[in-house]
Structure 1
Amino acid sequence: MLNRRTFLKQIGWSGAALSSAPVAIAQPNVPAEAGTRLTGRVVSAGKGLANVAVTDGYTVTKTDKNGAYQLTAATGAEFVYISLPSGYAFPHDNGTARFFQPITAKTGTVTANFTLDKLPVDDTRHQFVVWADTQMISKKDAEQLKAESAPDLHELVATYPAGSLFHGIGCGDLVWDHFDLYADYKEAIGSTGIPFFNVIGNHDLDLDARTDDYSARTFKQQFGPTYYSFNRGQVHYVMLDDVFFIGTAKKYIGYLTENQLHWLEQDLALVKPGSTVVVSLHIPTQTGHARRNKLKDDELGGSVSNRNQLYQLLKPFKTHIMSGHTHVNEKWEADNVIEHVHGTVCGAWWTGPICSDGTPSGYGVYEVDGGDIRWYYKSTGKPRTHQVRIYEKGRVKEAPDQLAVNVWNWDPKWKIEWLEDGVLKGQLAPQVALDPWAVELYAGPQLPKKHKFVDPTLTDHLFFISPSANAREITVRATDRFGTVYTERMPLV
């Protein structure tokens, strides 16, 4: 097995009807041959649903006024699936979204019908969460996911009004190459009480595959297609596979295949320009890693090489991109796109309570109202107001006379102010630095004990305060882009 610390340097970063009743995940991998015909209907309460997008992953068509569709499957197609329409419940098997059916014959006609249940409430307002990198390598990791992370999400959902609509996005690296732990992942998401749509990550690949084409066979058996879309309210959700396996164990690049981009072009053609589109993928399309580390180029395994082609397709829309992979929390925004790179559920690979940039282990929470989205970061085991951490003088060895402040969900539209003994002293500017707690937990060849490859990483969301000699208390007031104020205090005496 390739040493992970070395690897990080090399590659970049460390026919039945479908309903909401539980059903077994069928085995795919019966790829269609030329001429295979796909037919069926999409219905609700016995009535056909018109204009529902249906695809084999290559071609997108729509149901007619009776809810019927027909499609000639592309050679190699493994599934027929729908883009779940707004206003209907998400079918799932104990939390695992179920919007597809495997193609059951290589030739002839395959009939796949889909039955949906009408929602009893309007879905214009809804919520979703992004779980990045649950990444379990052992039963001990899996038990921690089930005992801490899943109950935390279940409790969060319970704080919202009864009947609130929630769904989850599993943003890749659901396990850490140990496919037997998918059962634990499914048990965890099933216990949260909300349906999850899942994305493939680099640690969800079949490493014995000879090419990328066959590297997702186990993931597909567990979760279905690796790229697809669905709708809720006024938002169109797209899930993509941007992990391109290069045929050597544990080596990959961030890349979107032509098949996906061709499919996405057709999928987005059915979405009204100006709509909000949420795109989820595992490897970020881009990050600040190269800038923070003064590198000339992005690393191939750390961002999407052909991201500009994706951005071109997304130009007509208001786009949020959801990603993980890096085990740090950051955001960038340009033109019509904002990307949310998430801190992870597993923190620094289940070695401690924080990620390598000091972000607590946790997940993103998104509140949707029409086409508008608000968000916050939920730290596992902490209240939603936990958004700021202050470090006393001396914790940062390079700045022994200063206090350090980590505001992990910061972006440039936040305002970070500090007060000394109740008197406003001004705003703070972010600095690129290492989180001191992450240094204490992860720096050095012998730390952390569980996974020694983990190192602290530079972040943009650290701030520094130089208090007066006689100051008695420092207050940090962080106001996010939505006007929510988070306050943290530290006594100095």
Structure 2
Amino acid sequence: MKYLTSFFTLFFLIVGLAVGQSANTASGIVFEDTNGNMLKDPGELGIQSVSVSNGRDVVLTDQNGRYELPVDNDDILFVIKPSGYDLPVDERNLPKFYYIHKPMGSPELDFSGVKPTGDLPESVDFGLIKAEEKKDFKILVFGDPQPYTEQEVEYFDQDIVSELVGADEFEVGITLGDIVGDDLDLFDPYTQSVARIGIPWFNVYGNHDMNFDAPTDSLADETFERVFGPATYSFNHGDVHFIILDDVVYPRTDGESGYIGGFTEEQLTFVENNLEHVSKNKLVVVAFHIPMFQPPNRRTFRLGDRNRLLEMLEEFPHTLSLSAHTHIQHIEFFDEDSNWNRLEPHIHYNVGTTSGDWWSGVPNEHGIPPTIMRDGTPNGYAIINFEGNEFTLDYKAAGYDDSYRMSIWGPKVVPQNSWHNAEMFVNYFLGSDKTEVHYRIGNRPWREMQKVNEQDPYVSSLRQKWDNSDTILRGKRPSNPIQSTHLWSGRVPNNLSLGEQTIEVRVTDQFGKVKREFYDRFTYEVVKPIEDQ
């Protein structure tokens, strides 16, 4: 430990001296890469008015595609892809849009970082590939694959990736952090797995993706940078402007241990400078790992940082933010009570995770745990549908048909015309305070179900299976259930004829101007009361 401390002290002294003596100016050209070889060849022309950044400053290329930016000895230069162009990708479908400038490389860490990059090249060029982008498109969004072992990478590959191989209806994919579970050597099998989907894939930095032995926040993402590039960056697609942010502050600076959600001054400067070059007609989508909302009686995000980000976003009529981290699914609406000063609330979508409840539960016939999350959401992934600068959200449960949007739990039998208090519960996985749920039997009028803040009884029953078992069950015991934010209940009618009865359920949700309805059914049996049998 004494040796490691001395090493870091020496590293900072040398880097500080180098930065102080030789802050550089990087220059280069953004060009149309007509042959896709990522090199500027004779005849390939520069592209005007493309944003380029060092993670703080943002400049536009001139009429010849040229730019200049200040660069320190621990910077990453990157191009902000404009609409109408694609980025080159490597063999793992990771976009190549950046140049790492670390002349000394990363310090020695448990997991390797960036090797020394040497002197700044005379020209740092970025190639873009001309493309016809659709205004209406879809993207995939993964929350927390978070494998702790190669076995869990295999679960992820079989349960999530396998059903998406060749899914060319999606333009790009984003993983919202916790790409792995502390073992950064698993970045490699993770990227190999996701590459099978066959689309460009962007990655967000999470709290389980960090170099925990790094002494400062600025060095905690060295391995992430080696594999994926910058942890804060941006790109455009169609009428959507995406901003990817590292919101894991580690170590904390408020006297408490561990990490906290928030942004650095440098990141907020980047966002402000970046948005100066973004049209107000764009939909601005900001993606990070730790959600901006606070659980009761816990401080998990620096509210000052959140308020500053929201203040910048208020200038834009169309916004959306994305996070993961919680291993539940939740939609939060930020309004004036949250220092959001637009008439329409800002929607923050906390996406359910691909690993669900950390791959828990008794494995199925394929050897994969059911891993239902604590709020009743099955593991899976989000699909965001963009129509110009409008969007709708979908959530696909892994291994289920596309139509599976809710789970319904209730009694199998009820006594006819006898006192009973049985209830039916509908867990609509994408439900929110703006969702309406109704139910009916036959041609009877629709009746509204009540939104309740309770544990999903189905999830509770699964957990009780473990605690009531006389033997040790296979797999990992699931986490205890929590109150779900997307659960509705209604009384199960028993004043019906004997026999099987079917309840029809209707869910109505709305994002912006788009209203959608979904239907499902629940079947139970009405029987004679015991005293009548």
TM, length-normalised to structure 1:
0.84
Give the whole-Å Cα distance in 1 for the aligned partners of 2:230 and 2:502. 54
Structure 1 residue 141 corresponds to structure 2 residue 152: yes
Structure 1 residue 191 corresponds to structure 2 residue 196: yes
| Shift in CA distance, 338/216, structure 1 to aligned 2, threshold 3 Å | same
Structure 1 residue 208 corresponds to structure 2 residue 213: yes
Identical counterparts, % of pairs: 29
- Mapping 1:374-453, distance limit 5 Å: 374-393=392-411, 401-442=422-463, 450-451=475-476
Q: Corresponding residue for 1:330? A: 330
Query: Segments of 4+ in structure 1 off by > 6 A?
Result: 29-32, 247-250, 443-449
SS in structure 1 at match of 2:86: coil
Q: Corresponding residue for 1:112? A: 124
Structure 2 segments unaligned to the other structure (5+ residues): 1-13, 35-43, 104-117, 336-343, 361-369, 414-419, 526-533
- Mapping 1:5-404, distance limit 5 Å: 33=19, 34-44=22-32, 45=34, 46-73=44-71, 75-93=72-90, 94-103=92-101, 105=103, 110-119=122-131, 121-154=132-165, 157=167, 160=169, 166-246=171-251, 251-286=258-293, 289-290=295-296, 297=297, 299-301=298-300, 306-317=305-316, 318-333=318-333, 334=335, 335-351=344-360, 352-393=370-411, 401-404=422-425
Give the whole-Å Cα distance in 2 for the aligned partners of 1:476 and 1:210. 54
Q: Could you say which structure has the larger radius of gyration?
A: 2
Deviations 1:433-468 (A, max 9, x none): 111232233469969975558221211211112122
SS in structure 1 at match of 2:85: coil
Give the whole-Å Cα distance in 1 for the aligned partners of 2:302 and 2:407. 29
Does the CA contact (< 8 Å) of 2:133 and 2:237 recur in 1? no
Give the whole-Å Cα distance in 2 for the aligned partners of 1:111 and 1:175. 35
Deviations 1:306-351 (A, max 9, x none): 2111101111112100100011111122345110011100010111
Give the whole-Å Cα distance in 1 for the aligned partners of 2:182 and 2:421. 42
Does the CA contact (< 8 Å) of 2:160 and 2:398 recur in 1? yes
SS in structure 2 at match of 1:128: strand
Q: Corresponding residue for 2:530? A: none
Does the CA contact (< 8 Å) of 1:443 and 1:455 recur in 2? no
Give the whole-Å Cα distance in 2 for the aligned partners of 1:97 and 1:199. 13
1:485 Cα deviation from its structure 2 partner: 2.4
Deviations 1:145-197 (A, max 9, x none): 11120122336x35x4xxxx511111000000011211121012100111111
Deviations 1:378-423 (A, max 9, x none): 111112211111102289xxx9611111011012333211012342
Does the CA contact (< 8 Å) of 2:262 and 2:301 recur in 1? no
Does the CA contact (< 8 Å) of 2:53 and 2:79 recur in 1? yes
Q: 1:454 aligns with which of 451, 476, 479?
A: 479
Does the CA contact (< 8 Å) of 2:356 and 2:380 recur in 1? yes
Q: Corresponding residue for 1:18? A: none
Q: 1:480 aligns with which of 502, 509, 529?
A: 509
1:429 Cα deviation from its structure 2 partner: 2.5
Letter in 2 for 1:331: I
| Shift in CA distance, 208/380, structure 1 to aligned 2, threshold 3 Å | same
| Shift in CA distance, 109/35, structure 1 to aligned 2, threshold 3 Å | farther
Give the whole-Å Cα distance in 2 for the aligned partners of 1:208 and 1:442. 36
Give the whole-Å Cα distance in 2 for the aligned partners of 1:245 and 1:300. 15
Give the whole-Å Cα distance in 2 for the aligned partners of 1:442 and 1:41. 58
Give the whole-Å Cα distance in 2 for the aligned partners of 1:118 and 1:264. 26
| Shift in CA distance, 443/468, structure 1 to aligned 2, threshold 3 Å | closer
Does the CA contact (< 8 Å) of 1:207 and 1:250 recur in 2? no
Q: Corresponding residue for 1:11? A: none
Give the whole-Å Cα distance in 1 for the aligned partners of 2:130 and 2:120. 33
Does the CA contact (< 8 Å) of 1:37 and 1:110 recur in 2? no
Give the whole-Å Cα distance in 2 for the aligned partners of 1:138 and 1:270. 43
Does the CA contact (< 8 Å) of 2:73 and 2:101 recur in 1? no
Letter in 1 for 2:348: E
Output the aligned Cα RMSD.
Answer: 2.6
Give the whole-Å Cα distance in 2 for the aligned partners of 1:480 and 1:42. 43
Does the CA contact (< 8 Å) of 2:357 and 2:478 recur in 1? no
Does the CA contact (< 8 Å) of 1:356 and 1:442 recur in 2? no
| Shift in CA distance, 336/64, structure 1 to aligned 2, threshold 3 Å | farther
Structure 1 segments unaligned to the other structure (5+ residues): 1-28, 291-296
Deviations 1:255-283 (A, max 9, x none): 11101001111001111224210000000
Give the whole-Å Cα distance in 1 for the aligned partners of 2:346 and 2:291. 13
Moved more, 29-38 or 406-415: 29-38
Give the whole-Å Cα distance in 2 for the aligned partners of 1:173 and 1:403. 35
1:82 Cα deviation from its structure 2 partner: 0.7
Give the whole-Å Cα distance in 1 for the aligned partners of 2:392 and 2:93. 24
Does the CA contact (< 8 Å) of 2:89 and 2:96 recur in 1? yes
Letter in 2 for 1:166: E
Moved more, 48-57 or 411-420: 411-420
SS in structure 2 at match of 1:97: coil
Structure 1 residue 467 corresponds to structure 2 residue 465: no
**Number of residues of Structure 1 aligned to a counterpart in Structure 2:** 446
| Shift in CA distance, 422/441, structure 1 to aligned 2, threshold 3 Å | same
Give the whole-Å Cα distance in 2 for the aligned partners of 1:373 and 1:201. 25
Letter in 2 for 1:103: H
Give the whole-Å Cα distance in 2 for the aligned partners of 1:414 and 1:479. 6
SS in structure 1 at match of 2:29: strand
| Shift in CA distance, 103/30, structure 1 to aligned 2, threshold 3 Å | farther
1:209 Cα deviation from its structure 2 partner: 1.0
Give the whole-Å Cα distance in 2 for the aligned partners of 1:406 and 1:89. 39
Give the whole-Å Cα distance in 2 for the aligned partners of 1:424 and 1:232. 45
| Shift in CA distance, 273/359, structure 1 to aligned 2, threshold 3 Å | same
Give the whole-Å Cα distance in 1 for the aligned partners of 2:227 and 2:465. 38
Letter in 2 for 1:71: L
1:76 Cα deviation from its structure 2 partner: 4.3
SS in structure 1 at match of 2:312: helix
Does the CA contact (< 8 Å) of 1:394 and 1:402 recur in 2? no
Give the whole-Å Cα distance in 2 for the aligned partners of 1:400 and 1:209. 57
